[in-house]
Amino acid sequence: MKKMIWTGLIVLIFFIILAIFAPFISSYDYKTQDISLRLQPPSLKHIFGTDELGRDVFTRMLYGARVSLSVGLLAVIIATFIGVLYGAVSGYLGGVLDNIMMRIVDIILTIPVLFLILMLIVYLGPSIINIIIIIGLTSWTDIARIVRAEVLKIKNSAFIESAKLIGLPKRVIIFKYIILNTLGPILVYIVFGISGAILIESGLSFLGLGVQPPYPSWGNILMSGKDYIHTAWWLILFPGVAIFLTVFSLNLLGEGLRDLFNPKLKKE
């Protein structure tokens, strides 16, 4: 369990450092084209080779890490914010309102998320900001359910009752006590949410519906690479491995955290 958390964290931190210090790690620019250098295989000068426009793939992947990681993180922040608020309010107030709010969640859950995203992209247009907002807007339902369930669990516990007795306003009770107590499951959700968002973003970018050139993303490097699959394997291999490693380490971290916060497993 601890091993999972540490492995996941180390790989992630490595990617985050690469993303943050991209300009210092690579001396190339991610958008400068040089047709004379197109489709060069990996060499000492270009360790991951160059793409069809002569750009350094390694540099584009560094900047792509920025895009992928921040899309994942920001989208999940939006989703978490909406979901926590929605779930906490629904669970705490209960009654008819809770019922209506949960039926709305049920309805949203029956619409396949990716189609919903596709529809929104068409209406809003693909751009990094829109992708973040769209993924955020379409993936808060799980967290809302988790938070609601947790809220119901602790709503009637003794310390909430005593908080009510002292006369703390409902608002304070909801936000201070309940949210503090649901931090564990929320954290687990955030980690899995980021990995899911990265997969969605890269998938959309791969199909040309996500991050638009010249901005690099692991997905759109793969998109341009797929036309050169016979000749330039490096365009396919490296971005794919990067996505896989990021998602894999996030999932490891998420699994580890879930076990950590699961009191049933703690005893063993």
Binding site for other proteins (CB under 8 A): 103-104, 106-116, 118-125, 195, 199, 202-203, 206-209, 222, 226, 229-230, 236, 239-240, 243-244, 247-248, 251, 255
The closest of 189, 113, 195 to 149, measured between CA atoms, is 189
Of 17 and 207, which has the nearer Cβ to other proteins? 207
- Locate the DSSP E strands across 128-242: none
Of 171 and 267, which has the nearer Cβ to other proteins? 267
Query: What is the C-alpha to C-alpha distance for residues 166 and 131, in angstroms, rounded to an integer?
Result: 45
Q: In whole angstroms, how close is the CB of 253 to other proteins at the nearest point?
A: 11
Q: In whole angstroms, how close is the CB of 259 to other proteins at the nearest point?
A: 13
Distances (CA, A) of 238 to 40, 151, 205, 244: 14, 43, 16, 10
Of 171 and 268, which has the nearer Cβ to other proteins? 268
Q: In whole angstroms, how close is the CB of 243 to other proteins at the nearest point?
A: 5
Of 79 and 178, which has the nearer Cβ to other proteins? 79
What backbone phi and psi angles, to 5 degrees, belong to 26?
Answer: -120, 140
Q: In whole angstroms, how close is the CB of 199 to other proteins at the nearest point?
A: 6
Of 111 and 172, which has the nearer Cβ to other proteins? 111
**Which amino acid belongs to residue 8?**
G
What backbone phi and psi angles, to 5 degrees, belong to 190?
Answer: -55, -45
Half-sphere exposure (Cβ direction) of 130: Cα atoms closer than 13 Å: 17
Q: In whole angstroms, how close is the CB of 170 to other proteins at the nearest point?
A: 28
Query: What is the C-alpha to C-alpha distance for residues 170 and 187, in angstroms, rounded to an integer?
Result: 24
